[in-house]
């Protein structure tokens, strides 16, 4: 099974919150785990917000960033290409998605998948989950 993680799902690997155990369990059995290159900056920005808000101590922030950096090379990282951007624009229009959500869905589509080797799409965003389901993905959600 291929597992695509948007940033909300990716963060669950590093910060304990609702859905973390479910994402970790799927990652453990996935043949490959993929995300978009944009997930790195989205994740780092989200972690910085949590640190500045006091939700992550400076020490925990350093540990989580180090863990993300250590794991990053293990993920299949999909590049944001001209073709992907155009696909994302169509998805944004068709499903009324925000720009980065559309880029994540387009990235998952670029990863591909079929009945024999399905791609599971993991997100904790209702609109994005619904769009992924309409695009034919199995959706991992708590």
Per-residue pLDDT tens digits for 1-28: 999 999 999 999 999 999 999 999 999 9
Give Cα separations from 70 to 11, 23, 114 (angstroms): 14, 18, 30
Buried b (16+ CB within 10 A) or exposed e, 39-59: bbebbeebbeebbeeeebeee
The residue-averaged pLDDT of 55-70 equals: 98
DSSP letters for 17-49: -TTHHHHHHHHHH-SEEEEETHHHHHHHHHHHH
Question: Looking at the domain that runs over 2-117+125-140, which CATH code has it been given?
Answer: 3.40.50.1010
* pLDDT tens, position by position, 75-96: 999 999 999 999 999 999 999 9
DSSP 15: S
Query: Residues near 132 by Cβ (< 8 Å), separated by ≥ 6?
Result: 105, 108, 121, 123, 139
Sorted by where each begins, the domain ranges of the chain are 2-117+125-140
CA 33 from chain centre, in angstroms, equals: 10
pLDDT score of 5 = 99
Say whether pLDDT at 142 is over 60: no
Q: Are 14 and 68 in contact (CB under 8 A)?
A: yes
pLDDT at 71: 98
State pTM to two decimals. 0.95
CA-CA distance, 29 to 32, in Å (whole number)? 9
pLDDT higher than 70, residue 62: yes
102 contacts 3 by C-beta, under 8 angstroms: no
Q: What percent of the chain is predicted at pLDDT more than 90?
A: 94
């Amino acid at each position: 099974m291929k597992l695509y993680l948007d940033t909300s799902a990716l963060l669950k690997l590093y910060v304990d919150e609702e859905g973390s155990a479910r994402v970790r369990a799927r990652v453990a059995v996935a043949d490959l785990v993929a995300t978009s290159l944009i997930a790195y900056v989205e994740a780092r920005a989200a972690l910085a917000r949590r640190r500045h808000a006091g939700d992550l101590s400076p020490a925990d922030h350093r540990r989580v960033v180090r863990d993300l950096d250590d794991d990053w090379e293990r993920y299949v990282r999909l590049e944001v290409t001209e073709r992907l951007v155009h696909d994302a624009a169509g998805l944004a229009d068709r499903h009324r998605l925000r720009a980065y959500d559309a880029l994540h869905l387009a990235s998952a589509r670029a990863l591909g998948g079929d009945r024999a080797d399905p791609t599971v799409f993991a997100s904790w965003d209702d609109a994005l989950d619904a769009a992924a389901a309409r695009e034919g993905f199995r959706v991992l959600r708590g």
